Amino acid sequence: MSEFQNRNRDTFDAEVASHRTKEKKGHPVVSLLLSAVIGLGAGLGGTWFTLNHYQGNTSSNSAGITTTTESSPSNVTSVSSNDDKTGLSVAGAAAKAAPSVVEIRTEITSTTYGLFGGTYTSEAAGSGVIISSDGYIITNNHVIENANTIKVKTYDGNEYTAELVGTDEKADIAVIKVDATDLTAATIADSSKIEAGDTAIVIGNPLGTLGGTVTDGIISSPSREIVISNQSMELIQTNAEINSGNSGGGLFDGNGNLIGIVNAKDSGTTSSGTTIEGIGFAIPINKAMDVADQLMKYGKVTNRPTLGINVQTLEQDTQRYKAGLYVTSVIKGGGAEAAGIQAYDRIVKADGEEITSYSDLSKILNKKSVGDTITLTIERNNKQMDVDVTLTGTLEEETGAAKTSATLG
């Protein structure tokens, strides 16, 4: 297969304008065009976000950063509920929350090819939130992905070099750690308790230069299903102002408690010329902390239900292949291998629901647990058959497999 890759750097949040993705300097985007057999790729990515109907990205592992696997810290502060809807003033809530938010700067080495190709170093910036007083910080995967170095600046102006503890591309969550004690950690709330209309406060590092910036608004929706990089995600929607650089920062409630990790925004204009304003998104902290806990314990997510296949989407009919979602490889030890799934099988349905892309399948997988069974209707040699697949926990990718497709789960 031929592969054409167009790489740009961007720092943070997804911006959509006129049904095109805007990229800013500092973060990688990879668009894959696979010829003949599989055609247009639409595998799961997490490096950068494109809302709704845009193709996914692929990425390689972070390079040059020491990765550590440690037990979860015991000094995480949390509250069991958000029953007090009165809350503090915005100033009071911001004063409580702001010391837990950090600025993040990364250095990334990239290689270009062609007549004027070479290696160059670029910088990017984002935000993070301290989740324990001994230096654990939660942020987005896309903020630190591929970074050679990660620098952290705390609210009091101190600067640290951070180590990568673990990162999860699909949840867009990463945990880093600095060698420090007595840091001010965020008080973590229960994001399942928030309601539309509740106070929302965003604190982060917009533009990579304005650390500690506070914006406020309301919770527009406590749970909005959004397709980002071909992955279906349940996110908190807010109208609090979000700009490039806020990614990884905190979404706080009216009491200054952490309810989400900012990861995306929608802005610009639609294809009809309608201006998009006040639409930002954050990963609910319940989900973010579940992932973070696993990253701190195991260095990866272990409880995500997984089919054990890599896939690509064919956007249109190509030669003898119909448009749809195709299996490109089967991972050893997974449920798909046990069920007899093969490369080039087209996934037509999952639990009776029509499947045309990975995002369709991810919506169904998001409702499953490890050990559950999913019924796939597959097409092989122009014949359809139903196959029951038992979902396993997270599997390693195949040795030597190119990262041009999505590992489902």
Which residues does the annotation mark as catalytic?
142, 172, 247
Residues 6+ positions from 402 with CB-CB distance below 8 Å: none
- Which H/E stretch holds residue 124? strand 118-130
Six-digit token pair at 44?
């799961």
Least Cα distance to 50 among 264, 243, 279 occurs for 264
Instruction: Give the separation between CA 31 and CA 12, rounded to whole angstroms.
Output: 17
* DSSP 8-state symbol, 256: S
Sign of CA dihedral 379, 381, 382, 383: negative
What does the alpha-carbon distance between residue 205 and residue 279 come to, in Å, rounded to a whole number? 18
Edge-to-edge strand list for the sheet holding 149-153: 159-161, 149-153, 101-112, 118-130, 136-139, 173-177, 163-168
Cβ atoms of 227 and 51 within 8 Å: the answer is yes
